[in-house]
Structure 1
Amino acid sequence: MRVHSLISDYLHEIMTDSSSSEGGTVADYIPELKKMDPNLLGIALCTLNGHLYSTGDDTAPFTIQSMSKPFVYAAALKEHGLDKVLDVVDVEPSGEAFNELSLDDETGRPLNPMINAGAIAVNQLILGEEAAVEDRIAHIRDFFSRLAGRELEINQRVADSEIEHADRNLSLAHMLRSYEVIQDSAHDAVRGYIEQCSIEVTVRDLAVMAATLAGGGTQPVTGERILSPAVARQVQAVMASAGMYDAAGRWMTTVGIPAKSGVSGGMLGTMPGQLGLATFSPPLDKKGNSVAGARIFQNLSQDMGLHLMSTEPYGIQTVRSIRTARNYTVVRLQGYINFAAAERFVSRIGEAKIKTKSFVLELARVSGVNGVGRRMMLEELRRIRNSGVEVWIFDPENVLPDPDLGDGTYPRKQSRRAAFALLDDLRRSASTPTE
């Protein structure tokens, strides 16, 4: 479909611009991770209607590592409810590294489920304290597979390698046992947590899993309702405040996307009500976050207006109608055109398969267009024009000024009188709107 090419080209451009990031080293405290190719780089984006776009090394497998934490937290919330989970782990930012040996001074609980101590405690909630490690991990793997929409497997080599070098996590587990936060043996608790982190995914899987959270718990590709909206909201709220560990504050002010990173080089993010994002690049900064991944997220946030605190409106149904009359295909848009809205426009055009000699884009009810929305609309008009279709635009409020199609050419401007005559024909036409 043409939309895949357009948006994948855009993602490739962002990825190429961000790949010049220098610095960072591949995680070496897990021997198997040290073997990863530092040149791997991929990016994926999944919308809430299940459209998945990706580029680069988008099918390269890697272990999910700490990016498993939001999803196991979601599973625990689904199974036990918020109050029971709060008895075990709090939701406060720690301001400390992911593997810090610290608990709340008063309660003895880990400060949040995104640090290792909190994740080990949350892992123990799955299927209850008496569950065998094998049963718990099988349940988590099945849950992750439903989130991704395909069967996922554990990379046992990575799991075994990490277990052999798990002294720090064993210390955390012993500390949790001493405060009676967990009841299992320290070794079994750490083994369950490490195998959870060793489930293998691709950047495409992560984007779909993130979009499930962004969509309030509905898997966008399969349509399965996996989580309640309340659980999805709770998980994303904790990601926003603690997902990037001791860099969470700076991340939220500069990037503004609820996110979670992993030492394998992956990074996922959610834009509630819009989409899920994921990147993969193994070299990490001193905080344990992917250098190139962080740069990609920052560039996408700025270019697409994705900052959570942005005032750009979104959510309105973009395409009012697609109709034909007098050998014209007329597409009427409405609302504010950001990335999500432009993606909807481009995908609907691809589905409509234009067969008329002329195409009219009507923007009378469009309130505004951001940078990436403009680029996507104009590129789609250029591709329609290059397919041999005459392109017109009706823009009475001039919301799309200087509509250069990227090669110095412009769509033809339709006068108000001609546009209203055509729209009147549409109203009297027997043509059925497609949206």
Structure 2
Amino acid sequence: MDPITALLDDVLEEMRGLESGEPAAYIPELADADVDTLAFAAVGPRGRVRAVGDADTEFTIQSISKPFVLALALAERGRESVLQKVGVEPSGEPFNAISLEPGTGRPANPMVNAGAIATTALIVGDDVDTKTGRIVEMLSAFAGRSLWVDESVYASESATGDRNRALAHLLRSHGVITGSVDTVVESYFRQCSLVVTVRDLAVMAATLAFGGRNPVTGVRVVEEAVARDVLSIMTSCGMYDFSGEWLLRVGLPAKSGVSGGLLAVAPSQFGVAAFSPRLDQHGNSVRGIAVVETFAERFGMHLLEPHESVAVPAVRVETTESGRVLHLGGELGFAGSERVVAVLRELAEALPTEAVVTVDARELARAHPAAMIALRAEFETMPSRFRLQE
């Protein structure tokens, strides 16, 4: 076992003794889950999957499908079309609450059930098979393998889904949903019944973490802008009426599901996932929350912690016969451009006036437009012996 996997295993074992909470009882197929099951997985930028515990246990994705179906809707319809039908504000209410915007009837956000049903309605397709096919294709691309529907769970969801049907009819009365309510609701039940493992969820989270590109398969699943929009909504709404405390304690975009799954995203660093069927009063996995919170703390994943690599890009100075070459690596943000300018000024003072100074930006993995604008503007004020290679 490599050192990182060992650390993950240590975190998992520390949380195994937590026994509060109960599995979801309102869906019969979920009520029979093995409450002792516990698993955790993490995927980094090179696509290596590290998994510990009961990592091969299969379970249904449930509400964790919501951000990925949202990604599909954004990709098919565009942000503005989606926003006409569903909002992006935290509801502060349980996942199955009737939370509609006065006047428009829009659901509060795509992470609560009403918003997720409205999002599913936006997916291209006039029948259940077509809609479900598009959804399965997209979620399979995120997971890096073919996913399938658990028909027993789907039947159980459909048989006990009267509240979701009522939400859908209410949405249709406001014009948020057009067409067949049954088509939309049954497609929603089927998307929630897709079978995954904690490995799948970690890969799906990592695909969002790396701007929509699956780090395992190398396939671009969605554009960066879509991944960013999804993560933004997950940050404020993904954990329902626990979202504020989650952001304070853990500081990562996340999404939970009532089967006991939980995934979280550390942008540009990791995608992680946990599974444990016991739920708290918010419908979130008790041990899953504890595992991810501990992992985020020990690995320094909180979004709002200072990250020096953004403010201080990699700078390597090479001495040549004519002067100096600054090789830039990593990511160059606006704050990082100040660091580069500071180094240039130090060189300008230390080198002879005939020495040539070149900034080689060709090795940057990512350069934000504002950073390059600032860098070019600085070069306009410098002597001609200062050069920028892009």
Q: How would you bin the TM-score normalised by the shorter chain?
A: 0.7 to 0.9
Match of 1:68 in 2: 65
Alignment partner, residue 110 of structure 1: 107
1:133 is aligned with what amino acid?
A: V
CA drift at 1:228: 0.7
Q: Deviation per CA, 1:273-312, whole angstroms, max 9, x where unpaired?
A: 1110100000000100000000011111211111111113
Aligned to 2:209: 214
Match of 1:184 in 2: 179
CA distance in 1, matches of 2:225, 2:79: 10
Alignment-derived partner of residue 347 in structure 1:
none
Q: CA deviation at 1:184?
A: 2.9
In the TM superposition, 1:71-90 aligns within 5 A as 71-90=68-87
Task: Output the CA distance in 1 between the equivalents of 2:188 and 2:270.
Answer: 28
Q: Please give the TM-score of this superposition, normalised by the length of structure 2.
A: 0.79
Residues 94-136 of structure 1: per-residue CA shift (max 9 Å, x gap)? 11110001210132101100000000010011115xx211111
Within the alignment, does 1:30 sit opposite 2:33 as a pair?
A: no
Verify: 1:279 aligned to 2:299, yes or no: no
| Corresponding residue of 2:264 | 269
Distance 2:226 2:160 in 1: 33
Query: Is 2:303 the partner of 1:308?
Result: yes
Q: Where does residue 257 of structure 1 map in the other structure?
A: 252
Distance in 2 (alpha carbons) for counterparts of 1:142 and 1:315 = 35
**Contact 1:305/1:312, CA 8 A, preserved across alignment:** no
Matched, 1:172 2:161: no
Match of 1:138 in 2: 133
In structure 2, what residue type is equivalent to 1:183? T
Instruction: Answer yes or no: is 1:293 the counterpart of 2:280.
Output: no
Contact map agreement 1:48 1:215 (CA 8 A) in 2: yes
Matched AA of 2:34: D
SS for the counterpart of 2:85 is coil
Pick the aligned partner of 2:239 from 238, 244, 266. 244
Equivalent position SS for 1:87: helix
Detail structure 1 runs of 4+ shifted over 2 Å in the superposition: 184-188, 312-321
Aligned to 1:39: 36
Query: Partner letter of residue 70 of structure 1?
Result: P
Structure-1 separation of matches of 2:10 and 2:174: 50
Distance 1:300 1:318, change over 3 A: farther
Offset from partner CA, 1:34-74 (integer Å, 9 cap, x none): 11100100000001221110100101000000000000000
User: How has the CA–CA distance of structure 1 residues 15 and 71 changed in structure 2, closer, same or farther, with 3 Å as cutoff?
Assistant: same
Q: Deviations over 1:361-418 (max 9, x none)?
A: xxxxxxxxxxxxxxxxxxxxxxxxxxxxxxxxxxxxxxxxxxxxxxxxxxxxxxxxxx
| Superposed displacement of residue 245, structure 1 | 0.6
Q: Alpha-carbon deviation of 1:319?
A: 11
Q: How far did residue 6 of structure 1 move?
A: 2.0
Separation (CA, whole Å) in 2 of partners of 1:317 and 1:11: 29
Cα contact 1:273–1:315 (8 A) shared by 2? no
User: In structure 1, how many angstroms separate the alpha carbons of the residues matched to 2:184 and 2:309?
Assistant: 43
Aligned to 2:89: 92
| Match in the other structure for 2:324 | none
Please tell me the residue identity of whatever aligns with 1:41: L
Aligned to 2:352: none
SS at match of 1:260: strand
Q: How many angstroms does 1:316 deviate by?
A: 10
Distance (Å, rounded) in 1 between the aligned partners of 2:30 and 2:309:
40
Code of the residue aligned with 1:80 in structure 2: it is R
| Secondary structure class of the residue paired with 1:44 | strand
Q: Which AA in structure 2 matches 1:173? A: A
1-structure distance, mates of 2:91, 2:314: 44
| Unaligned segments of structure 2, at least 5 residues | 317-328, 331-390
Report the aligned-residue RMSD. 2.0
- Superposed counterparts of 1:147-158, under 5 Å: 147-158=142-153
Counterpart residue type for residue 102 of structure 2: D
For residues 290 and 75 of structure 2, what CA distance do their matches in structure 1 show?
33
- What is the TM-score with the length of structure 1 in the denominator? 0.71
Query: 1:162, 1:314 → 2: CA distance?
Result: 46
Query: What CA distance in whole angstroms lies between the structure 2 residues aligned with 1:85 and 1:187?
Result: 21
Mapped partners of 2:142, 2:67: distance in 1: 12
Counterpart of 2:229? 234
SS at match of 2:288: helix
Q: 1:48 to 1:75 in 2, by over 3 A?
A: same
How far apart, in 1, do the equivalents of 2:236 and 2:258 lie?
19
Q: Does 1:196 align with 2:191?
A: yes
Q: Is the 8 A contact 1:40 1:57 kept in 2?
A: yes
Work out the number of aligned pairs and report it: 318
Aligned pairs for 1:309-328 within 5 A: 309-314=304-309
Quick one: which amino acid aligns to residue 107 of structure 2? P
Counterpart selection for 2:122 from 99, 102, 125: 125
Aligned counterpart, 1:55:
52
Distance in 2 between the 1:274 and 1:138 partners? 31
Letter in 1 for 2:25: D
Cα deviation for residue 251 of structure 1 reads 0.6
State the Cα distance separating 1:145 from its structure 2 match: 1.1
